Structure 1
Amino acid sequence: MKFQPLALQDAPLLHQLYADTPDYFRLLGTQLPSVGEVEQDVQTALFDPRRRLELIYLPDGEAGRPIGSIDYKLDFPDAGDVTINLLLIRGELQSSGLGGQVMQHVEQRLPTRTRRMLASVLGDNARAVRFWERLGYRFATDARPVMTWYAKQLTPPLSPAPAHPSLSRH
């Protein structure tokens, strides 16, 4: 898999990914964000040095069309934590095992200081809960009706990961 840090000019690609995954927004009871709203979200993410927003591609996949995106934050809420804000796989590719593969790749690239992974699940999303539980995450915090949090302890700590440009920014 190839992970490309999202730049502001990539907002239309992220918007198209959202458009290709309408069930997610229906589940949340919200409208698909406009390209302008996606640009604002990307710009906000770029101002946070701990936040990572990446497009995900298959090495032999369709040129220029991401299979998904991931939004996560290092050392949040505490030092050594990584919080997954959103993992989104394009609608027609969901339930194909790609989400689990993405998370394996993400875990391999995390800083060695990472001790715990957290995943936020927005709304009443039983499918997302099952996904995170299959990956070893357990219920951690109830912040309903907005979200619930699931956590996975990484013990022993992750082995040293190769340097990755999107993870070495300060």
Structure 2
Amino acid sequence: MEAMRTQSLSLRPVQLSDAALLQELFLKSPGYFALIGMEPPGLEDVIRDLHTLEKDPRRRAFLLFLEREAVGYLDYKLHYPEAEEATLSLLLIREDRQGQGLGQRALRHLMENLVGVKRLYAVVYGQNPRAKDFFLKEGFRHVKDGGPAVSWYVRTLRAGPDEGLL
């Protein structure tokens, strides 16, 4: 019998030095940006966003790696909108890696490691039925639409100590 090998998905905090890698990931996901009505951000825009990340102590962002290959990006905010809540603003899997369960694995990792958070919100931008279905299948429920371009989903989590992703 042949040995089975599973590829390891890891999350690493994004750093300013990752700007080019993050932009490359965005360039490999043009469908997402088309859904929200914009072009993938340029390098200067990515750098600007990473600078804002450094200035907000509640915001967390991670690059997702499958072995050593960057396959996704996860961005969320702790204690938002309320103290024991968090809001997932982007879970992006590179288009050529979608449909392999990577988004599900990243979301489950986040939910298992968020401590001190009782509810996780997910924001879906644009007309994105695939993302909406994803969150519904992952146990989220639709809360409200924030205009024609934003939908909010929520899932109750277990509560623990008051820290972010380990």
TM-score surpassing 0.5? yes
- 5 Å-filtered alignment, 1:67-86, equals 67-86=71-90
8 Å contact from structure 2 (residues 78, 87) kept in 1: yes
TM-score (normalizing by structure 1): 0.87
8 Å contact from structure 1 (residues 137, 150) kept in 2: yes
Deviation at 1:159, TM superposition (A): 5.7
Distance 2:136 2:58 in 1: 25
Distance 1:104 1:145 in 2: 28
Paired positions, count:
158
The equivalent position to 2:142 in structure 1, one of 131, 139, 148, is 139
Deviation at 1:153, TM superposition (A): 1.2
TM-score (normalizing by structure 2): 0.89
Distance 2:156 2:114 in 1: 14
8 Å contact from structure 2 (residues 118, 159) kept in 1: yes
Distance 1:13 1:24 in 2: 17
Q: Could you say what secondary structure the match of 2:70 adopts? A: coil
- C-alpha distance after superposition, 1:108-135 (max 9, x if no partner): 2112x21000000001111100000000
8 Å contact from structure 2 (residues 117, 160) kept in 1: no
Identical counterparts, % of pairs: 37
The equivalent position to 2:29 in structure 1, one of 21, 26, 35, is 21
Kindly indicate whether residue 130 of structure 2 is the aligned counterpart of residue 127 of structure 1. Answer: yes
Kindly indicate whether residue 159 of structure 2 is the aligned counterpart of residue 151 of structure 1. Answer: no
Structure 2 unaligned blocks of 5 or more: 1-8
Match of 2:50 in 1: 42
Structure 1 unaligned blocks of 5 or more: none
